[in-house]
């Protein structure tokens, strides 16, 4: 970085209803960073060339109702209210393990959001090339602007959160994680003030949103599969991973192979899936929320996410693979279901990258519903 944290100017007042807060956890979390190389991918259309077709502009998504795990109805946002976006990109310039495409990701995402109806004055961008300002992505500034993002939230509002930077894992201290690890992101000052773990993001963002508010999230970083601790994680088939898992054994029972070894293996699978269903129910009881939160993640919890090199108009730049795939997927097909979108994003990356993008939600989804935000 150009300046140390001690040299940063005081934060100017930001027009929200309450003052910035420093939500440091009691425990100072540290984590290690994994770095991936940047292969070259085909060039997409320029980020500012996308124009939604007229039929998409006229689509009115009616307010839907879904049922929570306890059977009560949950109202969803139709995304016709206020729109706000917070974009965070950290290259870690001058630090160990620098990245090269994260600031570019925020610029591309901003152009994309402007093309689909978000207004300039309602988009805030935190990048680590804005040294000495309130727009530096320090831990304190990130929480401050997250508070701005969701302030005065009301029914049918639509918010967007984008993070491109390093991600990692730390030991889970409160027992809410199936794998014993909390996922985390790395503010630019993580060495001094700690990482931000998924429990904090879930508590201060997801749980703070009222019913009927949409938050669409894109995390382009390593170990991001459950970076918001959303309990409903969807497969490309449209089914929830972990729920009704016992039914998936049905096809094995009709194969006709009932020798002793096969029966033993089937019994072991049955017992494992029973435990998975119990754990899924526990996760829902802990982490389901009333708001309409949908998250696209660059990879599974145990995977890393790649940087890519993209050529536009003869110029080559670095970007995050997931940010590239997300925006390209929507530009090429503005009208698609969530199930189709998850599959199409994975198809864009599968030939060159090992990462497998994920889709998770705070509530049960109809994966045939058209993507909107």
- Provide the pLDDT for residue 210: 92
Phi and psi dihedrals of 234, rounded to 5? -105, 140
Q: Is 166 a catalytic residue?
A: yes
- Provide the pLDDT for residue 262: 64
- Provide the pLDDT for residue 316: 80
Q: Is 222 a catalytic residue?
A: yes
Compute the mean pLDDT over every residue in the chain, rounded to the nearest whole number: 77
Interatomic CA distance for residues 38 and 258, integer angstroms:
48
Cβ-proximal residues to 204 (8 Å cutoff; 6+ apart), any chain:
23, 143, 146, 147
Cβ atoms of 324 and 308 within 8 Å: the answer is: yes
Put simply, whether the predicted model's pTM sits higher than 0.85 gets the answer no
Catalytic residue among 29, 166, 190, 202: 166
* DSSP per residue, 144-189: HHHHHHHTT--TT-EEEEEEES-EEEEE-SSS--TTSEEEEE--TT
Catalytic residue among 79, 102, 184, 222: 222
Q: Taking the CA atoms of 273, 274, 278 and 279 in sequence, report the sign of the dihedral they define.
A: negative
pLDDT in tens, the chain (373 residues): 333 333 333 333 333 333 333 444 434 455 555 544 444 444 444 444 444 455 444 443 443 556 665 667 777 889 999 999 999 999 999 999 999 999 999 999 999 999 999 999 999 999 999 999 999 999 999 999 999 999 999 999 999 999 999 999 888 776 666 667 888 999 999 999 999 998 899 999 999 999 999 999 999 998 887 788 888 888 777 767 654 444 445 544 544 555 667 666 667 766 666 666 666 666 566 666 788 999 998 888 778 887 777 777 777 888 899 999 999 999 999 999 999 999 999 999 988 888 988 999 888 888 888 999 9
- Provide the pLDDT for residue 122: 98
- Provide the pLDDT for residue 142: 98
């Amino acid at each position: 970085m150009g300046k140390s944290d001690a040299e940063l100017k005081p934060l100017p007042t930001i027009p929200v209803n309450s003052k910035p807060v420093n939500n440091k956890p009691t425990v100072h979390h540290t984590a290690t960073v994994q770095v991936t190389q940047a292969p070259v991918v085909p060039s997409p259309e320029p980020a500012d060339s996308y124009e939604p077709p007229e039929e998409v502009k006229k689509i009115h998504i009616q307010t839907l109702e879904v049922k929570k795990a306890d059977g009560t109805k949950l109202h969803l946002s139709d995304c016709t209210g206020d729109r706000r976006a917070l974009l965070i990109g950290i290259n870690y310039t001058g630090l160990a393990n620098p990245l090269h495409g994260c600031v570019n990701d925020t610029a591309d995402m901003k152009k994309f959001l402007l093309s689909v109806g978000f207004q300039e004055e309602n988009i805030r961008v935190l990048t680590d090339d804005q040294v000495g300002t309130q727009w530096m992505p320090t831990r304190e500034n990130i929480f401050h602007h997250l508070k701005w993002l969701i302030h005065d939230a009301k029914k049918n509002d639509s918010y967007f959160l984008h993070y491109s930077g390093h991600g990692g894992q730390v030991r889970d201290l409160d027992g809410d994680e199936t794998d014993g690890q909390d996922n985390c992101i790395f503010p630019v000052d993580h060495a001094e003030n700690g990482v931000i773990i998924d429990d904090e993001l879930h508590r201060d963002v997801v749980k703070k949103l009222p019913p009927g508010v949409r938050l669409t999230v894109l995390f382009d970083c390593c170990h991001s599969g459950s970076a918001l601790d959303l309990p409903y994680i969807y497969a490309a088939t449209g089914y929830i991973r972990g729920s009704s898992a016992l039914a998936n054994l049905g096809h094995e029972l009709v194969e006709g192979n009932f020798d002793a070894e096969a029966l033993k293996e089937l019994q072991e699978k049955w017992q494992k899936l029973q435990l998975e269903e119990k754990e899924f129910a526990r996760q829902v009881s802990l982490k389901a929320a009333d708001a309409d939160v949908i998250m696209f993640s660059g990879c599974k919890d145990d995977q890393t996410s790649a940087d890519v090199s993209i050529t536009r108009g003869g110029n080559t730049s670095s970007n995050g693979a997931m940010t590239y795939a997300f925006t390209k997927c929507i530009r090429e097909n503005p009208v698609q279901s969530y199930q189709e979108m998850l599959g199409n994003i994975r198809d864009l990356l599968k030939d060159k990258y090992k990462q497998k993008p994920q889709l998770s939600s705070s509530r049960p989804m109809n994966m045939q519903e058209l993507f909107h935000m």
